[in-house]
């Protein structure tokens, strides 16, 4: 830090370099944040296009548009791209932009590693997407890639899939190491841990989760690689291995991964609700403790994804109760947001609309998760569209709505222009209606027994599937409006003040809009 405080009284201002090399060589946290956000937007549109293929096929019963083999590739790539290419890089991008500004740091702690962790990502997804054009097609075993589907019966492209997961893992691990080192060591004097903005807290916890579980995922795919190419039998029963072991290792990663995709959303929504309610957050420390307990519990509930593998009763009861326990800290958070809004002078600008609908719709997704935690009920719901409805409710109007809320909330700070409020509201209502029309009927067809991951279905599911597809097209195409709004805001618009929002709190609102290329070269004073 001392190196930074030594006065560099150069007269000229260090602006960004010009041309493409600015983006290739940049070590600036704002540039890298921008790169991450645009990358995740591109992946969101690609993964979304795949979702459109899926819903088009399911519009009517019978095989309509694609071959079943291609359908399987679509569901696999849709899941992988949305999780590893859409949601996670978007949150990393937000962390890059916001964490240093929120804690009064000049940049991330490891700027060169920051550059590397972004620039290996496009290669990972190039490798993954190129498998679509390989002999035997892209991975077709679902995003959970259960062995032996992903080992003995996998298409040859599975090796490319494994390497792309390795690269994604390396990128996430480097990104999270960077976040932890930054938060732990570069806070401006006076910002103690319990004074950190909640988004920073949420990312600190998320980063620890990532460092703990991404290596386990890397281990799982490495074992697959060895089973496929080097004759080991980790998951091969003929050689003394066990396919159920794969599921244990995968979900040991997979369940914390679920919270990796929602904790930063909790942070974002807390900021936005506080701002537009023009009140203090109801309970700051309870929010922090709730996030910590959710993170710790996430390590002891993984087997609730596997209730039907033939577990003994004692294990099923343990994982059922441990899972239900998570509803307690989650409830603390939801009531906290509601109590923050209570008697506030609320205005409903676009970010607030997304944040409030996050609270409502995420709670719906949380409650259907609670239903799935009930062991005897899960035997009925397992691998049906009820599960699909559940996790899309927590991921789309959960994680993705929070990302959209964050973009509307902070974009005036990023590019200095206000977005078009009328278009923003239109985008919100189209998305809100689209999401619910898409996913709410999936609860019904799931409870009625429609299994997931099939390109065809029995006739009694036809009506709700058609409704769901119509909703999906509405939601999908309204995201092009989002793209338009973002581009329009970047190009121009009403100039933003530095505070932007009347009720905004935090260091990022003390710098000019757009935020200068270098901020807080000298740490700010915080009481």
Partner 1 sequence: MNKGAKKTLIKLIVAVPLMFAFGFALVPLYDVFCEVTGLNGKVFQSEHSDELVVEDGRQISLQFISTNNENMPWTFEPSDQVMDIQTGKYHTATFYVKNTTDKTMTAQAVPSVAPSNAAEHLKKLECFCFEQQELKPGEEALLPVKLLVSNELPSNIKNIILSYTIFDITEYNDDEKLAHHQMDME
Catalytic positions, written as ranges: 78, 107, 143, 171-172, 255, 257, 259, 270, 304-305, 330, 333, 452
Q: How far is it, in rounded angstroms, from Cα 253 to Cα 443?
A: 26
- Residue 1 or residue 360: which is nearer to partner 1 going by CB? 1
Selected binder of partner 1 within 17, 132, 311, 367 (CB under 8 A): 311
Q: How far is it, in rounded angstroms, from Cα 297 to Cα 319?
A: 11
Q: Are the C-beta atoms of residues 264 and 102 closer than 8 Å to each other? A: no
Rounded to the nearest 10°, the torsion over CA 11, 14, 17, 18 is -60
Residues 384-423 that bind partner 1 (CB under 8 A): none
Selected binder of partner 1 within 16, 189, 239, 492 (CB under 8 A): 239
* 240 binds partner 1 per the rule CB under 8 A: yes
Residues 173-192 that bind partner 1 (CB under 8 A): 173, 177, 180-181, 184-186
Q: How far is residue 327 CA from its own chain's centroid? A: 20
Closest CA to 98 of 482, 400, 409, 527: 409
Selected binder of partner 1 within 85, 93, 241, 514 (CB under 8 A): 241
* 498 binds partner 1 per the rule CB under 8 A: no
* 120 binds partner 1 per the rule CB under 8 A: no
> Hey, which residues does 7 pair with through a beta bridge?
none
* Contact region with partner 1 (CB under 8 A), list: 85-93, 210-218, 381-389, 428-436: 210-218
* 166 binds partner 1 per the rule CB under 8 A: no
* 220 binds partner 1 per the rule CB under 8 A: yes
* 219 binds partner 1 per the rule CB under 8 A: yes
Closest CA to 254 of 213, 284, 282, 218: 213
* 300 binds partner 1 per the rule CB under 8 A: no
User: Least distance (Å) from partner 1 to the CB of residue 240?
Assistant: 3
- Residue 94 or residue 217: which is nearer to partner 1 going by CB? 217
* Contact region with partner 1 (CB under 8 A), list: 50-58, 311-319, 497-505, 512-520: 311-319
* 110 binds partner 1 per the rule CB under 8 A: yes
3-state secondary structure of 146: coil
* 362 binds partner 1 per the rule CB under 8 A: no
* 215 binds partner 1 per the rule CB under 8 A: yes
Selected binder of partner 1 within 49, 63, 134, 237 (CB under 8 A): 237
Query: What SS3 string covers 414-456?
Result: HHCECCCHHHHHHHHHHHHHHHHHHHHHHHHHHHCCCECCCCC
User: Least distance (Å) from partner 1 to the CB of residue 293?
Assistant: 21
- Residue 309 or residue 458: which is nearer to partner 1 going by CB? 309
* Contact region with partner 1 (CB under 8 A), list: 19-27, 75-83, 124-132, 218-226: 218-226
Selected binder of partner 1 within 315, 317, 360, 480 (CB under 8 A): 315
Q: Are the C-beta atoms of residues 405 and 362 closer than 8 Å to each other? A: no
Selected binder of partner 1 within 39, 201, 234, 428 (CB under 8 A): 234
- Residue 176 or residue 468: which is nearer to partner 1 going by CB? 176
Q: How many CB atoms lie within 10 A of CB 9?
A: 5
* Number of residues forming the site for partner 1 (CB under 8 A): 41
Q: Are the C-beta atoms of residues 169 and 149 closer than 8 Å to each other? A: no
Orientation of helix 158-185 relative to helix 121-130, angle to 10° = 160
Phi/psi zone of residue 172: left (φ > 0), alpha (ψ -120 to 50 degrees), beta? alpha
* 248 binds partner 1 per the rule CB under 8 A: yes
User: Least distance (Å) from partner 1 to the CB of residue 227?
Assistant: 10
- Residue 50 or residue 217: which is nearer to partner 1 going by CB? 217
Burial of 7 per CB tally in 10 Å (0-12, 13-18, 19+): exposed
User: Least distance (Å) from partner 1 to the CB of residue 363?
Assistant: 32
Q: How far is residue 399 CA from its own chain's centroid? A: 5
* 376 binds partner 1 per the rule CB under 8 A: no
DSSP 524: P
- Between the alpha carbon of residue 214 and those of residues 129, 174, 222, 354, the distances in Å are 21, 11, 12, 30
Q: How far is it, in rounded angstroms, from Cα 170 to Cα 221?
A: 13
User: Least distance (Å) from partner 1 to the CB of residue 4?
Assistant: 10
User: Least distance (Å) from partner 1 to the CB of residue 180?
Assistant: 6
Q: How far is it, in rounded angstroms, from Cα 517 to Cα 391?
A: 38
* 103 binds partner 1 per the rule CB under 8 A: no
Burial of 202 per CB tally in 10 Å (0-12, 13-18, 19+): buried
Query: What SS3 string covers 201-213?
Result: HHHHHHHHHHHHH
Q: How far is residue 136 CA from its own chain's centroid? A: 30
* 20 binds partner 1 per the rule CB under 8 A: no
* 267 binds partner 1 per the rule CB under 8 A: no
* 522 binds partner 1 per the rule CB under 8 A: no
Per CB under 8 A, residues contacting partner 1 are 1-2, 109-110, 173, 177, 180-181, 184-186, 211-220, 223, 231-234, 237-242, 244-245, 248-249, 252, 310-312, 315
């Amino acid at each position: 830090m001392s190196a930074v405080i030594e006065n560099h009284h150069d007269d000229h201002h260090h602006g960004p370099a010009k041309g493409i090399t600015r983006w290739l060589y940049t070590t600036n946290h704002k540039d890298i944040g921008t790169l991450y956000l645009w990358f995740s937007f591109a992946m969101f549109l690609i993964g979304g296009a795949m979702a459109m293929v899926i819903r088009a096929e399911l519009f009517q019963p019978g095989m309509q548009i694609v071959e079943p083999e291609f359908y399987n590739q679509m569901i696999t790539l849709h899941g992988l791209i949305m999780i590893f290419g859409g949601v996670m890089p978007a949150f990393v991008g937000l962390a890059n932009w916001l964490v240093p500004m929120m804690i009064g740091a000049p940049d991330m702690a490891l700027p060169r590693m920051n550059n590397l962790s972004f620039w290996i990502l496009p290669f990972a997804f190039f490798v993954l997407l190129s498998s679509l054009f390989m002999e035997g097609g892209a991975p077709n075993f679902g995003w959970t890639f259960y062995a032996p589907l992903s080992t003995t019966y996998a298409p040859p492209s599975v090796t490319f899939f494994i390497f792309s997961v390795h690269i994604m893992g390396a990128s996430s691990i480097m990104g999270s190491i960077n976040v932890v080192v930054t938060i732990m060591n570069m806070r401006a004097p006076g910002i103690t841990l319990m004074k950190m903005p909640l988004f920073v807290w949420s990312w600190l916890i998320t980063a620890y989760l990532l460092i703990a579980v991404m290596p386990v995922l890397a281990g799982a795919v490495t074992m697959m690689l060895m089973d496929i190419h080097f004759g080991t039998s980790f998951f091969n029963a003929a050689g003394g291995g066990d396919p159920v072991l794969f599921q244990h290792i995968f979900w040991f990663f997979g369940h914390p991964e679920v919270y990796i995709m929602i904790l930063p959303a909790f942070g974002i929504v807390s900021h936005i609700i506080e701002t537009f309610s023009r009140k203090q957050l109801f309970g700051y420390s309870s929010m922090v403790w709730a996030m910590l307990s959710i993170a710790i519990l996430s390590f002891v509930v993984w087997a609730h994804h596997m209730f039907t593998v033939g577990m003994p009763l004692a294990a099923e009861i343990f994982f059922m109760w441990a899972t239900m326990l998570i509803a307690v800290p989650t409830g603390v958070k939801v009531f906290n947001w509601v109590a923050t809004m209570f008697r506030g002078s609320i205005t409903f600008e676009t970010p607030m609309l997304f944040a409030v609908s996050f609270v409502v719709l995420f709670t719906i997704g949380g409650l259907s998760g609670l239903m799935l935690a009930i062991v005897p009920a899960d035997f009925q719901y397992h691998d049906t569209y009820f599960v699909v409805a559940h996790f899309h409710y927590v991921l789309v109007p959960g994680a993705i709505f929070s990302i959209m809320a964050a973009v509307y909330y902070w974009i005036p700070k990023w590019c200095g222009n206000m977005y078009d409020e009328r278009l923003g509201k239109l985008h919100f209502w189209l998305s809100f209606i689209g999401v619910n029309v898409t996913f709410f009927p999936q609860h019904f067809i799931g409870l009625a027994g429609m299994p997931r991951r099939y390109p065809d279905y029995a006739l009694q599911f036809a009506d709700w599937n058609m409704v769901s597809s119509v909703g999906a097209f509405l939601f999908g195409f309204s995201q092009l409006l989002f793209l338009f709004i973002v581009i329009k805001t970047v190009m121009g618009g009403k100039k933003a003040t530095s505070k932007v929002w009347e009720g905004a709190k935090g260091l990022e609102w003390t710098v000019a809009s757009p935020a200068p290329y270098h901020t807080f070269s000298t740490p700010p004073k915080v009481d």
